[in-house]
Structure 1
Amino acid sequence: MSLRTKGETGDALGTWVKLPDPESVEIMAHAGFDFVVIDLEHTAMDLRAVSTHVAMARSLAVDPLVRVPDHGHSAIQRVLDAGAAGVVVPHVDTVAQAEAAVRSTRFPPWGTRGSGGTSRAGRWGTLPRDEYLDFGNNGALCVVQLESRQGIENTAGILAVDGIDSVFVGAADLSMEMGVPASDAQVQDLITHALEAASDAGRSIGTAAGTSEQGLAALARGFDYVVVSNDTSILANGARQIVNAVYPDQAG
């Protein structure tokens, strides 16, 4: 799977992983998801759990991306050395922030990432150094989230940054910032702007969806990949369906 070039491999389907137990990734892989996004922004997960998730995903041929908690260099470097296929950087609003995100994912002279070839990304020191460096500079994905009016308006400039592989539209935070529902015309016009900018740049663009129906609608609208639901919601909804079926009078 590649999220780099628009239309390169067709639509791709992922889901968020928010629980620390590796069974979450295992279940999602067996369910048939193309990739998972391990979430460090909105969970209490630690790097040890991320490392285990990445190993599980790799073993099952599912691409593991990690949404880092912020723009911090250290978190980006550590999850990449844990073997992540790439990072999703939240709340990128400007070209300067996009450039900084790229620098954190790349080795010198293109970035500031330190060499950690004895990590999983370097196959514990057994991967030739040039292969380790090549993946870091050319293979690891740098995806940035656009979740503000400013970020969306800067889509074209952000996608023009060398090393930005894809943008990810966060409609929930965008609508919250604007003080209107996600269905509001103002929000939808901005999303259309981002889609058109990505199309013009020939780069991929993704978004999140709560349900499969919403995911299908996003793909039909022109998004190249979609992250649908998450392990906790899938578990909670499945549990609720069972309870409601047995106790229909208590359905909530």
Structure 2
Amino acid sequence: MKVGELKKRLKNGEKVLGTMVTVFQNPDIVKILKVCGFDFFLLDCEHGCFEYGEAARIIGMARGIGLPVIVRVAEIRRELVLKYMEMGADGLLLPDTREKEEAELLVKYSKYAPLGERGVSLSRPHTDFKKVQGRQYMDEANENTILMCQIESPEGVKHIQEIIGVEGIDAAFVGPNDLSQNYGVLGEYGNPVMEQAYDEVLKAVQTAGKIAGIHFGKKEPLIPCIQAGYQINMCGNDVSFLMDGAKKVLESIKESTKK
């Protein structure tokens, strides 16, 4: 998939499905995800313990084989945003966004002027070390980069219209685990207060002409959100898929060999 293709698909109204890489540092995980058929993946640099070099190799592999990668940063800080953008990430996810000012900082640090204030250094992995025409490349990068704000609190839901209204922000991405915890209904994804939050986020982004996304560990709560109109979604992660597959095989062998 070419750089910017994921964003074009979303703008065309397509629904895409990805997963999260949380632990596995070998870049070959990217090849595995592509063979499985995922449209993109998220590299979790918030909870995950990826060093810069490890993240760079994973992102480099993703660029090399054409599988879009979005990085979840640990916090809104210029160094973090700049490093992952320079590595060549297709986009960024800012966790626990509660105010529009946080979204504005994400744009400021990740978009080139005049939209933002991203530092200019063009002989880097994000250009594949090719000689580029500066202004043209910067405009294309601003257009192609996907910026998402993760909504994980009642405050984020309350301010969703202001957050998604920030120029340069493409999507609101719901984090059900922390959101349910912050509502006092941990793990109750079908609780009425959670369903109301899903609806509020979706209505706000649709009104703004933007995109909604969500991540669940299992398919059951995800399917209704996709059917409702959530476009950029994730299911499971590297660890859960490995463990689920291993458990099923082990259980099958043990069941088949019982005496």
1:137 to partner: Cα distance: 2.3
- Structure 2 residue aligned with 1:17, among 16, 21, 36? 21
From the superposition, tell whether residues 233 and 174 of structure 1 become closer, same or farther in structure 2 (CA, over 3 Å).
same
From 234, 241, 249, the equivalent of 2:248 is 241
- Can you list the C-alpha shifts for 1:7-48, whole angstroms capped at 9, x where unaligned? 624110111012111121110011111111111011111121
Partner of 1:128: 133
Instruction: Provide the rounded CA distance (Å) in 2 between the counterparts of 1:135 and 1:12.
Output: 22
CA drift of 1:208 comes to: 0.3
CA contact (8 A) 2:176 2:216 kept: no
Equivalent residues in 2 for 1:59-208, closer than 5 Å: 59-180=64-185, 181-208=188-215
Q: What amino acid is the match of 2:57?
A: T
Q: Distance in 2 between matches of 1:31 and 1:178?
A: 35
1:110 offset after TM fit, Å? 2.8
Displacement after TM superposition at 1:159 (Å): 1.3
SS of equivalent residue, structure 2 residue 129: helix
The amino acid that maps onto 1:173 is: D
**Match for 2:179: what amino acid?**
L
Deviation at 1:209, TM superposition (A): 1.7
Aligned-pair Cα RMSD in Å = 2.0
Sort the Cα spacing of 1:215 and 1:185 in 2 relative to 1 into closer, same or farther, 3 A: closer
Q: How many residues align?
A: 250
- 8 Å CA contact 1:3–1:204 kept in 2: the answer is no
- 1:4 Cα shift? 7.2
TM-score when scaled to structure 2?
Answer: 0.90
Q: By how many angstroms is 1:128 displaced? A: 2.5
Q: Percent identity of the aligned residues?
A: 26
Distance change (3 Å), C-alpha of 1:52 and 1:70: same
TM-score of the superposed pair, with normalisation by structure 1: 0.92
- Does the C-alpha gap of structure 1 residues 120 and 43 become closer, same or farther in structure 2, counting only changes over 3 Å? same
Following the alignment from structure 1 to structure 2, what is the Cα–Cα distance between the partners of residues 6 and 109? Answer: 24
Are residue 41 (structure 1) and residue 36 (structure 2) matched?
Answer: no
Quickly say closer, same or farther: Cα 1:166–1:43, change in 2 above 3 A. Answer: same
Post-superposition Cα deviations, 1:63-89, rounded to whole Å, max 9, x if no partner, equal 111111111111111111101111011
Give the letter for the 1:227 counterpart: M
Aligned amino acid, residue 85 of structure 1: D
The 2-side partners of 1:155 and 1:6 are apart by 20
Gaps of at least 5 residues in structure 1 are: none
Q: CA deviation at 1:160?
A: 1.1
Q: Which runs of 5+ in 2 are unaligned?
A: none
Contact preservation (8 Å) 2:112, 2:139: no
